Amino acid sequence: MIQLLGIKNCNTVQKTIKWMQDNGHDYEFIDLKKDPLNDTELAELVHKVGIETLTNKRGMKWRSLGLAGKDVTGEELFDLLLEHQTMIKRPVVIKDEAVMVGFDEESMADFLSEQ
């Protein structure tokens, strides 16, 4: 089963959901606002894709916390992501042990066909 992590009102997540439905993929949607990741789940994602890949440094939350231009360590980033999961780049798509972050139709098709 494919897991799709994100936030329901995110445009990119909505595009991903539509693409999944249009292409006949069954998935479980996990809304990070309603059902946030615990530290173990977040650590597993970080291990698989890296903290930098998982962090959205262009989003409103990053800017509102005054982090633009600051040098933030990996440990600090982890704590920030755990507390502010809206800073996780969306969507996060998990299939078996593989993880993809972000949405691009061609890349998503390749990712899901390879798994």
What is the band of 68 on the pLDDT scale with cuts at 50, 70, 90?
Answer: confident
DSSP codes of every residue in the chain = -EEEEE-TT-HHHHHHHHHHHHTT--EEEEETTTS---HHHHHHHHHHH-HHHHB-TTSHHHHHTT-TT----HHHHHHHHHH-GGGB-S-EEEETTEEEES--HHHHHHHHHH-
Which CATH number is 2-114's, of 3.40.30.10, 3.30.365.10, 3.90.180.10, 3.40.50.2000? 3.40.30.10
Task: State pLDDT tens for residues 23-39.
Answer: 999 999 999 999 999 99
The radius of gyration of the chain's CA atoms, rounded to the nearest angstrom, is 14
Whole-number pLDDT of residue 115: 55
Return the domain boundaries, the chain: 2-114
Q: What percent of the chain has pLDDT over 90?
A: 88
The predicted model gives 97-107 an average pLDDT of: 96
